[in-house]
Amino acid sequence: MEVKNNAKMEIYKNKGRRKNNKRYYKAHDSVIKEILIAKQELIFLMRDFMKINLNKKDIENFNGEYRLKTNLKTRLLDVIYKIKKEESFITVKHQSTVDYKMGERINEHAVAIIGSREEQMENNKNRKAPIIYPIVLSTARRPWDVARTIIQDKNNKYGLPVLTYPEYNLIDINKYTVDFLLERRTGIAVGMAFEKIRNKKDLEYIIKKLKSFKKIDHWEKRAMRIILEKIEGIMPWIVKELTKEEIRNLKREIMKIINKGGDFMSNFERAFKKIVEEEGRKQMRKGIAKTIKGFLAQNVDDEIIIKATGISKEELEKLKLQVV
């Protein structure tokens, strides 16, 4: 009876581990994906890690993500961008773990994208499929040791020709130091740097490095806000190793870094702030005007009003006409 109970406990423990692992990988994947949804971040990624220069005006987000139905299951390809006026696509697949089936997955994604562009392809013998540039961004703890494409056995009795499958491009986080990543001064590089954190010492080093920068870039702030929202998910060990007070202090430190040189604001937030400030100035002017009209009604000397309120002589003359 005791053996059965122990077996059940082990099953529950394994289920708990699998559930926590899924939550961990989901948090990791969502952070990188959310950072890369911004076109500028894809440009940074291509420039710094693939040595390819893109223009923001030349690319467009292809629905942000692409759902691929295979064997009645829906898989999600992280990010797809399309080159404008061309049938060319850049895909980015983020991996928190080493996946030995990646060659097959990339092949499935390529076929699905080609299938979705049927209408754009010429309906004759010269029809051309779109160009697809697949990237795998690995933030796995160990180096990526997977073949870049599907490998076939070339040794066969009849010498049958071997198919050529798509080969993906690889960005392996293990090849870069934290210093190298943070010195890129981009949001995606900050996200990759945080993915390299394994313990409290690593975390303290990155925080110290970020605090040493005189100014924090707009994209770095954006990435850090995304990381801050999901920090317990991408670094689950901090819940065990840090006290609640230490976690609160950590979040405060990150917020201080984000707010260095001014808070991160979207274009909408800036416009809204400008409107609010303008309204505030209008209300203040109305209040001053009301006070001055009260002075004028009591026949207070013009010079006293000008000194007390800072109003110009011309504006005072206009208010006099309103009082009359």
**DSSP codes joined into one string, 252-291:** HHHHHHHTTTS----HHHHHHHHHHHHHHHHHHHHHHHHH
**How crowded is residue 7: how many other Cβ atoms within 10 Å of its Cβ?**
10
Quote the mean pLDDT of the chain.
Answer: 80
Query: Where are the strands (E) in 30-95, listed by range?
Result: 59-61, 66-70, 73-77, 79-83, 88-95
CA angle 264, 270, 275 (to 5 degrees): 150
Which pLDDT band, with edges at 50, 70 and 90, does 77 fall under?
low
Query: What's the pLDDT at 324?
Result: 54
Query: What's the pLDDT at 35?
Result: 93
**What CA–CA distance (Å, rounded) separates 296 from 318?**
12
Query: What's the pLDDT at 39?
Result: 92
Q: Quote the tokens at residue 70.
A: 């295979």
Average pLDDT over residues 11-33: 56
Residue type, position 280, single letter: G
296 vs 220, residue with greater confidence: 220
**What CA–CA distance (Å, rounded) separates 191 from 287?**
49
Query: What's the pLDDT at 270?
Result: 55
Residue 60 phi/psi, 5° resolution? Answer: -140, 145
Query: What's the pLDDT at 222?
Result: 93
Q: Quote the tokens at residue 42.
A: 């894809």
Task: Please give the helix or strand (H or E) that residue 171 lies within, else none.
Answer: strand 169-172
**What CA–CA distance (Å, rounded) separates 309 from 318?**
15
Which pLDDT band, with edges at 50, 70 and 90, does 27 fall under?
low
Query: What's the pLDDT at 275?
Result: 54
Query: What's the pLDDT at 7?
Result: 52
Instruction: Look up the pTM and report it.
Output: 0.69
Give the tens place of pLDDT for each residue, 242-282: 888 888 888 889 998 988 754 444 454 455 456 556 656 66
Query: What's the pLDDT at 264?
Result: 44
Can you give the residue ranges of every domain in the chain? 37-175, 269-323
Average pLDDT over residues 28-47: 89
Percent of the chain residues past pLDDT 70, beyond the cut? 78
